[in-house]
Amino acid sequence: DQQVKQNSPSLSVQEGRISILNCDYTNSMFDYFLWYKKYPAEGPTFLISISSIKDKNEDGRFTVFLNKSAKHLSLHIVPSQPGDSAVYFCAAYAPSGTYKYIFGTGTRLKVLA
């Protein structure tokens, strides 16, 4: 039951270029989406989020885009830096009746210097 999918297990990008990480979901009840960054042997760290009433949210180098009709969201990092190298998880939240986040499988981003 993969309600949240990240179809690219890995991505390599040159330093200074744009990184685009994608996420698809199937459950239309999700109304809040989050991106978490995770380093090995550490817990996920919150990066940025977006409510389903918006189609874009920006925070510094990070922008999340939401396309509700396509049930798709993406995280753009520009410019990418070597310190951005980590695993990025997309997560979806449906507060009505449940209190849980559904995580995608993650995308390992490697930013090459």
Partner 1 sequence: EPEVTQTPSHQVTQMGQEVILRCVPISNHLYFYWYRQILGQKVEFLVSFYNNEISEKSEIFDDQFSVERPDGSNFTLKIRSTKLEDSAMYFCASGDQSPRAFFGQGTRLTVV
Written as six digits, the tokens of 43 are 């817990």
Q: Which stretch binds partner 1 (CB under 8 A): 19-27, 53-61, 70-78, 94-102?
A: 94-102
99 binds partner 1 (CB under 8 A): yes
Q: What are phi and psi of 83, to 5 degrees?
A: -65, -10
Which listed residue (16, 56, 98, 112) binds partner 1 by CB under 8 A?
A: 98
With H, G, I as helix, E, B as strand and everything else as coil, classify residue 84.
helix
100 binds partner 1 (CB under 8 A): yes
In Å, how far are 50, 85, 111 from 16, measured between CA atoms?
25, 13, 9
Site residues, partner 1 (CB under 8 A): 32, 34, 36, 41-46, 49, 89, 93, 95, 98-106
